[in-house]
Chain A
Amino acid sequence: MEHIRMPKVENVRLIDRISSRKAVLGTLYLTATHVIFVENVSETRKETWVLHSQISSIEKQATTATGCPLLIRCKNFQIIQLIIPQERDCHDVYISLIRLARPVKYEELYCFSFNPKLDKEEREQGWKLVGLKEEYNRMGVPNNYWQISDVNRDYQVCDSYPAEVYVPKSATAHVIVGSSKFRSRRRFPALSYYCKDNNASICRSSQPLSGFSARCLEDEQMLQAIRKANPGSNFIYVVDTRPKLNAMANRAAGKGYENEDNYSNIKFQFIGIENIHVMRSSLQKMLEVCELRSPSMSDFLWGLENSGWLKHIKAIMDAGIFIAKAVAEEGVSVLVHCSDGWDRTAQVCSVASLLLDPFYRTMKGFMVLIEKDWVSFGHKFNHRYGNLDGDPKEISPVIDQFIECVWQLMEQFPCAFEFNERFLIHIQHHIYSCQFGNFLCNSQKERRELKIQERTYSLWAHLWKNRADYMNPLYREDHSQTQGTLRPQTAPCNFLYKFWNGMYNRFEKGMHPRQSVTDYLMAVKEETQQLEEELEVLEERLAELKKVQLNNRKQNSKQQDRNKHIELSTSNNSIANTPQDYSSNVKSFPSRSPSQGDEEDSALILTQDNLKSSDPDLSATSDQESGVEDLSCRSPSGGGCLPSEDSGKDSDEAVFLTV
C-alpha cells in the first residue's frame, strides 16, 4: 500500500488501439493488486482490470496538449494506453506502478492475498489433483529397470531437482552422486518419460563438465545404466539441443558435451535451438510487429520473418519430433540436455512426451506434463517470467514457446487434443499472473520452504473446475487422432507454422474471427446432451401412456396411423429448418444465434459471451475479498463484465476510411 502515491485519477482517457480516434473517459484506480480503469458511461461502467504482476513495462511518453500518455504493456500481450490530464498525476501513477509491478518479496505476490473462498480441505484437494507419483506409476515405473531414488531427499545432491527422482536400477547412489558432480549445477541424468511398450525412455540432464578432455567414470556408468534399462537397444542417443557452436564455446569454460569416444554406445546429436537471450529478443521483435498501427501486409510478413520467431518454434518442434521418433519407431532411449537442462531441455522433453503419449493430450495429462517437465525439474519460473524484480537478462518466453508448439500441433491435428485454445491461453496467462501458487519460485526446494501448498491455491483445480469451458468439441476418446504417437509432417513443412493471432493479439478482438467454431460446436453438444435426456423422459412417458392405451386399443387404432404420418413430417421439417427449430423447441441458446440482437455487437456474440465466462481476468475480478481498497469503483454487477474483452467490439470500419 505504501507504494501507491496516487490511488485514484479522474478524467483519464483509455485509447482504443484499433481506431485511435476512439477513446473512452473514465477513472483510474491503483489498488494493492490491480490497476483498474472504470469508464464513465453510466449504464455500463465498463471496467478494465490489470494485475500488477502482468505488467511487463510502463512507458511515460511526451506530454501533449491533451495530457500525458502512459503506455502499459502486459505479459499476456495486452497493451493499455492511457492519457492522464495532469503531468504530475501521470508521474505519480508511473512511479507507483514501477514499484508495484516489481515486487521484491514473494509475499507481495497476488497468490498470497487471493482467496477464492475455498476451505482448507478443498484447497488441499486442489493440490492433490496432479500427482507425479501416480504419473510415473501410470508410465509403468518403478519396474525391473527403473527405481525411485531418495538420493536427493533433502535436495542435497541437486537443489533444483525434485526430491524424488527416477533413475536406472543399476545406477547406485555412488554413481548418481559421481555423475552429478560432473554435470552443470549437478543436474544428473534422470527419467522424464518411459515408454512401457518398448522400454525406451527419455532422460534429461544438464551439460557435462567435460571441457576439452575431462572424463568422469560415474557419468559414463550412468549413461551405460540408462542404455541397459532398455534391453531392446544397444545404444542411446545423446541429444544436445544447443547449436554446435554454442556447445563448443562452453568447453572453454570447462563445460561442453559428451565425447563419443569416452562413452560407449552413444550416438551424439546436436539440434540447434537458440538460447534464452535470442528467444527474448525474437519475441520482442515479433511483438513490435503486432503493435504496428495499421501495418501493410509486407510490413507484417517481413517483420514476422525478421523476428525469427516461427523458425525457433520449428526448431523446438523438430527436436521433439526427432526424440519421439527415436523412442516410438527405433525403440532407442534418449538423453536430452542443453546447458543447464532447465529451458530447452524442458521444451523438448515435453514436446516429445506430448507427441508420444495421448494421455498428455488430455486436460489432466497436460497439467501433469507441465508439472513433470517444468515445475518439478526446476524450470526457473520466477526468473524467466519476472515474478519478482530481478535480472532482466534472465527473462525469456521459454514456456510460451512450448505452449505455442502445442497450439501449432492443435492446428494440424484438430481432433487430437481434449482441450481447446482457450485452455492454453489461460495457462499462459496464469504463469505470469501469480494468482495461483503453482509457478512460484525457481525450484521445488524453494516452494517447499515457502510452504506454497499451505498458503496458496492450485491453478489446476481452478481449471479443472471450469473444464467445460476448455473442452475441444472435436475430441473423442476413440478417434484415430487420439491414439498413439502423433506424427507431424516433416517434409517441407514451413508453411505449417502459423502466426498465433489468438495469443499475441489476444486483446485485439477486432482481429479475430467473429464467430467461433469451437464455441458453436460446444453449444451444439450441450444441446445434444439435453436432447438425449429429454428423449429418455419422453420415451418413458410414451411407454406409460401406451400401457394405458392397451386397455382401449380398439378405439385408438385409427389414432396410431395418424401418428405415424405426423412423425414423418416433423422429422423432415426439423432437418430442413434448423435455425428456427433451435430457438423455439428447446431451451434457447443465445450463443448460437448470431442473427439476434442489434447489428455490430451481435456479430460478436459467439466469441465474447463465451470467453467472458471463463477468462482468467474475470477470476481476478471476482475476488472481492482480497483486501483491496477503493472498492467504490466496482460496478454492482461484480464480475459480470470484463471491459478488456470488449475492446474489439466495434467493427474495423474506421480503418477503411483512414487509409
Chain B
Amino acid sequence: MYPFFYRPMFEVVEDGWHSFLPEREFELLSSVTNEWRLSYVNKEFSVCPSYPPAVTVPKSIDDEALRRVSTFRHGGRFPVLSYYHKKNGMVMMRSSQPLTGTNGRRCKEDSALINATLRAGKRGYIIDTRSLNVAQQARAKGGGFEQEVQYPQWRRIHKSVERYNILQESLIKLVEACHDQSHNMDRWLSKLEASNWLTHIKEILTTSCLAAQCIDREGASVLVHGTEGTDSTLQVTSLAQIILDPRCRTVRGFEALVEREWLQAGHPFQQRCAQSAYSNSKQKWESPVFLLFLDCVWQILRQFPCSFEFSEHFLIMLFEHAYASQFGTFLGNNESERCKLKLPQKTMSLWSWVNQPQELSKFKNPLYEANSLVIWPSVAPQSLQLWEGVFLRWNRSSKFLDEAYEEMNNIIDYNKELQAKVNALRRQLAELETDDGMPESS
C-alpha cells in the first residue's frame, strides 16, 4: 500500500504518532480531578482487542474488575471515560452493549464501575443509540441493555441512530442525486429527501445535543453505547464534546478528539472507509460513519462560524485522508492492528504533515475568536443544509465562493497588519516620550 512506500518531502518537526498519546491526555485530566486512573489492563490487547493499551477508568475500580466487566460487554468494550466536563465534574463514558441475553444475565462489577462515576444521590443517563425495539431484539443474540432493576440509579434513553449499510445506501443515493443531470427542481428535492442523508445528520446531532444537555444542563453523568460501541456511540460522544468543550474546536483539540474518540477508540476505518459512495452494497462493512460525523461538525461550524479555529477545508481534508491517504493514520481498524502493522515505524502520520505551520495555515478559520461557551446548535430541518463543499464540489464551480473566502481573508489580514503597525508605533512613541521626558515639546 502507498503509505508504506511514501517518503515525505518535508522535514518532520513533530512526529504525529506521538502527538496525542493517552498519557498526555491523562495528564490534562489529572490537573483537574484525581478520581480517575490510567489502566494498562489492555496492554497486550487481550482484554479488548479494539481498545488501546491504556484507558481511563474510575480510580476505585481495579484491573481485575475491568477484566470481569469486559466479559459482560460486547467485544470486551467495558465502560471507559470519554469526556470530563470541568465546569461541573460530570462525565461521559462509552462502552458497547451489555451481554444480558434473554435470561437477564448480570454483572455486579459492571454496575459498580458505572456507579463509581455518580455523585451521592445523583442519577445518571444511559443513552442507547438504538431504538428500544432494536435493543430488545439484541437480547436474542446475547446482547441487550441495562435493566432498571439492576441499574436503579440510571435512566435509560433510547435514541435511534442508523448504522452500517443503511448509511451506505443513503450516501450512494445522495451522491447519485447530486449527479442528476435533469433540470427538474422537484426531482432534486425528492431525491435529496429520499437519500435520507440529512435525516441521519439530524438524528446524530439531536442525540449528541441530548448527551451534552444531560451533562451540562441536568448536571448528570452519561454513558453512551449502541451495539458494538464503535460507530454511532463515537459519533455521539465526539460531537457532544465539540458542543461542550472549547478545546475540541481548536485545531489541536480536534486532532486530539479524532485520535482519542475515533482512532484509539477503535472505529474500524479500514472496514468503513474502503470504497466510499461507489462501492457495491455487498461490501457489508462499508459505512460513512466518519463522514457523517464530519458533516455534523460542519453543520455546527456553519451555525457558529466564529467559534472554530479550523475551517471547512480542514474537515474536507480529513474526509479525504480517511478514504485514501499517503499517511498511515487511518490504516487498520484499531490500535492493535496498527501496532501489528508497525505503522508508526513504517509510515508517516497525517498529523506530522498537517501540523507544520505552513500547512496548518491553509486550514485555519480567519474568523476564529476563542469562545469558551457551550455552543448549542439548532437541529431544526431549516437549519441543516447539504454540505456543498463535499457533495457538490465536482459538479459546480466554486470560483465565486472561493473569491469570497479570499476577500474575507484580505479584510482580516489587513486589519491585523494595521493592528501590528499601530501597536509598534504606540510603543515607539511611548518609549520616546518617557525616555526623553519631554512628551509634548514641539
User: Which residues of A pack against B, CB within 8 Å?
Assistant: 290, 294-302, 304-305, 308, 310-311, 314, 412-416, 473-474, 476, 479-481, 489, 492-499, 501, 505, 508, 510-517, 520-521, 524-525, 527-528, 531-532, 534-535, 538-539, 541-542, 544-545, 547-549, 556, 559, 562-563, 566-567, 570-571, 573-575, 578-579, 581-582, 585-586, 592-595, 599-600, 602-603, 606, 651-653, 655-657, 659
Contact between chains at B373 and A549 (CB < 8 Å): no
Contact between chains at B431 and A652 (CB < 8 Å): no
Contact between chains at B369 and A595 (CB < 8 Å): yes
State whether A570 and B423 are in contact (beta carbons under 8 Å apart), knowing that A494-B185, A595-B369 are contacts in the complex: yes
**Interface readout for B205-246 with A: 1 if CB under 8 Å, 0 if not?**
010011001000100000000000000000000000000000
How many Å from the CB of B403 to the closest CB on chain A? Answer: 6
CB-CB under 8 A from B383, the residues of chain A are 501, 511-512
* B112 at interface by CB-CB < 8 Å: no
Contact between chains at B432 and A545 (CB < 8 Å): yes
Of the A-B pairs whose beta carbons lie under 8 Å apart in the complex, a sample of 6, sorted by A's number, is A302-B193, A494-B185, A517-B306, A538-B422, A559-B432, A657-B213
How many Å from the CB of A567 to the closest CB on chain B? Answer: 4
Q: Which of A566, A586, A599 contacts B428 (CB 8 A)?
A: A566
Contact between chains at B384 and A575 (CB < 8 Å): no
Those of B350-405 within 8 Å (CB) of chain A: 367, 369-386, 388, 392, 395-397, 400-401, 403-404
Contact between chains at A545 and B433 (CB < 8 Å): yes
Q: Which of B186, B189, B369, B418 contacts A593 (CB 8 A)?
A: B369
Contact between chains at B373 and A603 (CB < 8 Å): yes
Contact between chains at B213 and A656 (CB < 8 Å): yes
* B10 at interface by CB-CB < 8 Å: no
Contact between chains at A481 and B403 (CB < 8 Å): yes
Those of B406-442 within 8 Å (CB) of chain A: 407-408, 411-412, 414-416, 418-429, 431-433, 435-436, 438, 441-442
Q: Which of B392, B411, B432 contacts A521 (CB 8 A)?
A: B411
How many Å from the CB of B217 to the closest CB on chain A? Answer: 6
**Interface readout for B276-310 with A: 1 if CB under 8 Å, 0 if not?**
00000000000000000000000000111111000
* B184 at interface by CB-CB < 8 Å: yes
Interface size on B, residues (CB 8 A): 86
CB-CB under 8 A from A600, the residues of chain B are 376
Q: Which of B202, B400, B436 contacts A414 (CB 8 A)?
A: B400
Contact between chains at A592 and B369 (CB < 8 Å): yes
Closest to B396 in A: A489
Among B90-98, B175-183, B339-347, the stretch in contact with A:
B175-183
Those of B177-201 within 8 Å (CB) of chain A: 178, 180-190, 192-193, 196, 198-199, 201
Contact between chains at B431 and A562 (CB < 8 Å): yes
State whether A595 and B371 are in contact (beta carbons under 8 Å apart), knowing that A300-B382, A304-B189, A501-B382 are contacts in the complex: yes
A510, B378: Cα distance in complex, Å: 7
Q: Most chain-A CB neighbours within 10 Å: which of B186, B369, B374, B395? A: B369
How many Å from the CB of A260 to the closest CB on chain B? Answer: 26
CB-CB under 8 A from A531, the residues of chain B are 415, 418-419, 421-422
CB-CB under 8 A from B186, the residues of chain A are 305, 308, 311
Contact between chains at B306 and A297 (CB < 8 Å): no
Q: Which of A494, A520, A539 contacts B184 (CB 8 A)?
A: A494
State whether A514 and B304 are in contact (beta carbons under 8 Å apart), knowing that A562-B431, A574-B416, A594-B369 are contacts in the complex: yes
State whether A297 and B199 are in contact (beta carbons under 8 Å apart), knowing that A480-B403, A513-B302, A653-B209 are contacts in the complex: yes
CB-CB under 8 A from B424, the residues of chain A are 566-567, 570-571
Q: Which of A308, A521, A656 contacts B379 (CB 8 A)?
A: A656
A653, B403: Cα distance in complex, Å: 36
Contact between chains at A493 and B396 (CB < 8 Å): yes
Given A541-B429, A652-B379, A656-B206, 8 new contacts (CB under 8 A): A301-B381, A489-B397, A511-B382, A512-B378, A520-B306, A549-B432, A556-B435, A603-B304
